[in-house]
Amino acid sequence: MSRSVANALMLLVALIWGTTFVAQQLGMAHVGPLTYTGVRFLLGALFVLPLALREYGRLQARGARLDRADWLAWCGLGVLLFLGAVFQQIGIMGTTVSNAGFLTALYVPLVPILAWLVDRQAPHVSVWPASIGSFIGTFMLSGGRFDTLTVGDYWVIASTFFWAAHVLWVGRVAARKGVPVMVAVAQFIVCGLLSMLVALFTEEIAMDGIVAAMPAILYGGLLSVGIAYTLQVVAQRHAPATDAAILLSSEILFAAMAGALYLGERLSFVQLMGGVVIFVCILAVQLAPMFSRKTAAAV
């Protein structure tokens, strides 16, 4: 696969992820947030399952085995995914798609900070101004007043801590046995089952509602969870990390565009500038360390 094709696939991934925020909001007109999340991730797991079984065959062929620690780690990832997805889904009920997209992206500067707190890995110097900038961008996104942030906004912000923890842990877990698709399917199943279990006690699950929400569920499950994840794994094997950082970060721009086109959402000038500040900070966190390493290597 050429670099240009890989870049095009990653741009498609960002488009799917960004527009999925619309599907997440529309789907909850018929089902609760936990039901939507549960069905979505179980469908995504079912879609990717054939690839996981193929990967398991290769694992057996090379004589590797899965132990208890592997299964516990995969389940742990599923719990983090469940908390991040459900908090985000509940938040989307009370905020706009544009806000949800920009606020979810706050997990990016949180990842190196969390790594510093957990592993004592000193973050790149760009993390600190980017974190401050993200805080300022959030302030601007609220229209210059934090008291205008909705309850939904705070749910989405809370979800970023679980997304950051998930991102920090998933790379290590997937690298242990070299079976990223199996890890993905396992965490999707755990997330989906936990969501449905909690939904049984907190939401009214009606088949009519699930059928009515099925277009939005299929978009979020098959496209976002199944296809987009698979395309990301394939594309990032054939493209530089710098390309991936820029293209995948465009997810938040696609979320804002989708909110405007499909839901008629509009951002004020201050809010728009706040989104731009958050986007710039996200790029800084991802790109600055790469440029530093290239400069050091050149010297």
The pLDDT tens digits for 57-82 are 888 888 778 888 888 988 998 999 99
Nearest to 48 by CA among 238, 265, 221: 221
Max distance between CA atoms of the chain, in angstroms, equals 64
The whole-angstrom separation of Cα 153 and Cα 272 is 16
Flag whether pLDDT at 243 surpasses 70.
Answer: no
pLDDT, tens digit, for every residue of 8-53? 887 888 889 888 888 888 888 889 999 999 999 999 999 999 988 9
Flag whether pLDDT at 5 surpasses 70.
Answer: yes
In a 13 Å sphere around the CA of 262, the CA atoms on its Cβ side amount to 18
The per-residue pLDDT for 239 is 64
Averaged pLDDT for residues 225-234: 78
Categorize the per-residue pLDDT at 292 as very low, low, confident or very high, splitting at 50, 70 and 90: low
Percent of the chain clearing pLDDT 70 (strictly above):
86
Six-digit token string for 158: 């809370």
The per-residue pLDDT for 145 is 62
Flag whether pLDDT at 247 surpasses 80.
Answer: no
Helix (H, G, I), strand (E, B) or coil at 149: coil
Q: How many CB atoms lie within 10 A of CB 33?
A: 24
How open is the CA angle 92-221-21, to the nearest 5 degrees?
25
Token pair 């951002």 in the structure block, residue: 267
The per-residue pLDDT for 212 is 92
Helix (H, G, I), strand (E, B) or coil at 84: helix
Q: Return the sign of the alpha-carbon dihedral for residues 217, 227, 185, 259.
A: negative
The whole-angstrom separation of Cα 245 and Cα 191 is 26
The per-residue pLDDT for 294 is 64
pLDDT, tens digit, for every residue of 174-224? 667 777 888 888 889 999 999 999 999 998 888 899 999 999 999 989 988
Domain boundaries, the chain: 3-107+147-269, 108-146+270-299
The per-residue pLDDT for 144 is 61
Helix (H) or strand (E) holding 278: helix 269-298
Nearest to 161 by CA among 106, 96, 86, 93: 106
Averaged pLDDT for residues 147-174: 83
The pTM assigned to this predicted structure is 0.83
Nearest to 144 by CA among 264, 265, 250, 267: 267
The per-residue pLDDT for 295 is 64
